Amino acid sequence: MNCSVTGKTPIIIGWRIHFVLLISRQGKVRLTKWYSPYSQKERTKVIRELSGMILSRGPKLCNFIEWRGLKVVYKRYASLYFCMCVDTEDNELETLEIIHHYVEILDRYFGNVCELDLIFNFHKAYYILDEVLIAGELQESSKKSVARVIAAQDTLIDNAKEQANSLSNMIAQATK
């Protein structure tokens, strides 16, 4: 492997999403996804700090907060604040668009998504997020295609469950 030139030029950390937070209006965390290394302690601190800043902002203000040399882009949907932390060089307007993209996919999946959906099906919210972002980068711009793969995976799960059920039924019958 040739690594002669790459060694010389310093790596600039590119634009990306450092973490995603979903915070309710009461300050409860509904989803956290960390793409940059933050220790558990730092995570708690970041969440506390940001939810304080975001929840106290008025409705007409811009959706960006400059924070610790990064930028937090947030948007409120009903009782939930969707926040993404990006580099200062990143396109804030696009980040807003990514948030909206994710929300629309959630909305299609749950059918008029509300906070309760995301509480009881938090793992599904994560699965969907993992189909939208990897390594803090957008991977799919088509909502339909995300919906398709999520549905396909859900079917896989259902089939597995059915199989397990019929298997346990058979065992139950055999041992009767």
Partner 1 sequence: MGTRLRDMIRSIRACKTAADERAVVAKECATLRNAFKDNDQDFRHRNVAKLMFIHMLGYPTHFGQMECIKLIAAGSFPEKRIGYLGLMLLLDERQEVLMLVTNSLKNDLNHSNQFIVGLALCALGNICTAEMARDLAPEVEKLLHNNNSYIRKKAALCSLRIVRKVPELIDYVMVPATALLTDKHHGVLISGVKLCTELCEGSEVALQHFRKHVISLIRVLKNLVVSGYAPEYDVNGITDPFLQIRLLRLLSLLGKGDSETSDNMSDILAQVATNTEGSKNAGNAILYECVKTIMSIEAIGGLRVLAINILGRFLANRDNNIRYVALNTLVKVVSIDTQAVQRHRSTIVECVKDSDISIRRRALELICALVNVSNVKPLTKELMDYLKVSDPEFKGDLTAKISSLVQKFSPNKQWYIDQMILLMVEAGKYVTPDVTRALVVVISNASELQGYTVRALYRVFQAWDGQESLGQVTVWCIGEYGEMLIDNLNEVEGEEPLTVTESDAVDVVETVLKDIRVSPDTVAFSLTALLKLSSRFSHCADRLKGLILEYKGSVVLELQQRAIEFGSILSKHTNIKTALLERMPVLDEATYYSAKQVEVGVDANQTAKSGPHSNGHAKQPNGVAKHLAPETALIDLLSFLPDEQPSAPHQSSDDALLGSLGANVVTSSVPPLSGGADMLLELLSLGTPAAPPLASQESPLPASSQSSLRSSLLDADPFAVPKGSVVSHVMSDQTHNGPASNADPFANLAPLSKPTAAKNPAFPLLVAMQTSGLKITFEFTKQANSPQTTIIKATHTNLSSSPYSDYLFQAAVPKFMQLQLEPASSNILPANGGAVITQVIKATNNMHGQKAMVMKLRVSFKADGQNNLEQAQVNNFPVGL
Which parts of this chain interact with partner 1 (CB under 8 A)? Answer: 1-3, 5-9, 11-15, 29-35, 37-40, 44, 58, 60-66, 91-94, 96-98, 100-101, 119-120, 122-123, 126-127, 130, 134-135, 137-142, 144-145, 149, 152-153, 156-157, 160-161
Strand bridging mode 29-34 / 17-24: antiparallel
Measured from the CB of residue 80, what is the shortest distance to partner 1 in angstroms?
14
Comparing CB distances to partner 1, the nearer of 78 and 168 is 168
Instruction: Quote the Cα angle for 124-126-146, to 5°.
Output: 75
Q: Decide if 19 contacts 42 (C-beta within 8 A).
A: no
Please state at what angle helix 122-132 crosses helix 92-110, rounded to 10 degrees: 130
Comparing CB distances to partner 1, the nearer of 26 and 112 is 26
Measured from the CB of residue 85, what is the shortest distance to partner 1 in angstroms?
14
Q: Could you tell me the two tokens for 101? A: 């993209």
